Each structure stands twice: as structure tokens, then as C-alpha cells.
Amino acid sequence: MNPACELCRHDASRVLWRDDALRVELVDDADYPGFVRVIWNDHVREMTDLAPGDRERLMRAVFCAEAALRRVLTPHKVNLASLGNVTPHLHWHVIARYTNDAHFPQPIWGSRQRTCDSEVLAQRAAKLAELKVVLAHDLETTWAALSGQGR
């Protein structure tokens, strides 16, 4: 726990699923409905600061998020990134991308390409309730299967 780190604190209202090691949140970004963040609970800087088993655990959650985004939102592409330049506390961005979103084909941190149509954004946002249910269910099922294997 680093008191200066915003990811050591957390906003429980945004958490879709959590366990002792990590939590999964929906990011509130008007341009990107379908932006999920997977956050390691402890204040750890880099993936290679984690033990290999913990890296695998974190990536399983990232891939669960990717699979749920694809199933519910059918994006053109999924972007995955662990950056942490501003907040060096391990967290993964899992982002549904579309050819008509605000930055495509740039990363969402690149230069803005257009304003995405508000009706299109509303249609995507309308699927977030389903995304939350699917993602929490998939994480629970994956973790139950892992603990059944003694992991």
C-alpha cells in the first residue's frame, strides 16, 4: 500500500469482480464504452516483479476481459496495454476498438481522429450491463476451474 498511489485506493462502485490478488473495473470514458481495467491489488511496478504464477493469474483475467468484450461488443480490435508511466502500479487496459471510434487507427493515447457519433456510442453503452454480467460470470467460472485444479 502506497498512500500516494491512486490505484492502492479503489472506488468499490466501479469494481465488477475482485479476489485477493486483483480486481476488474469498468472505466468511465465517454469515448470508450467497453474499456476495462484489470488492476493488481498490491503496489507492484512491473510484470516481472510478480512471480510467474501471479503473472499468469493476472493475464488470465486480462484474457477473460478480452473474451467478454469480444463476445458482448464485437469490436473491430481489442487493445491491451500495461503502461503505468503516471501510476506505476500494475494495471492493464483492455479496450474495445472500432474503426469509427475517436482515435482509430491510432491508440487511444494518440491524436484524435474524429468525434464518434453519439448514437453509436449510446448503442455501445447500452450493452455494458450485459458486459458486466458476462465478465463477472466468466471470471468466477475461470477462477472456480483453477481452484478445482489446486491453483
Please give the residue ranges that form the binding site for a second copy (CB under 8 A). Answer: 45-48, 52, 55-56, 59, 62-63, 66-67, 70, 77-86, 88, 97, 104-107, 109-111
Of 83, 88, 92, which is closest to residue 4 (Cα–Cα)? Answer: 88
Other C-beta atoms within 10 Å of 12: how many?
8
Nearer to a second copy, 15 or 67 (CB): 67
Give 20's contacts (C-beta < 8 A, 6+ positions apart): 41
Q: How far is the CB of 97 from a second copy (least distance, A)?
A: 6
What one-character DSSP code corresponds to residue 33? S
Q: How far is the CB of 133 from a second copy (least distance, A)?
A: 19
Map residue 143 onto helix, strand or coil. helix
Nearer to a second copy, 46 or 122 (CB): 46
Q: How far is the CB of 80 from a second copy (least distance, A)?
A: 5
Nearer to a second copy, 90 or 121 (CB): 90
Q: How far is the CB of 12 from a second copy (least distance, A)?
A: 27
Of 94, 110, 113, which is closest to residue 32 (Cα–Cα)? Answer: 94
Nearer to a second copy, 12 or 51 (CB): 51
Rg (Cα) of the chain, in Å, rounded? 16
Hunting for cell 493475464 — which residue is that? Answer: 59
Nearer to a second copy, 13 or 48 (CB): 48
Q: How far is the CB of 78 from a second copy (least distance, A)?
A: 6
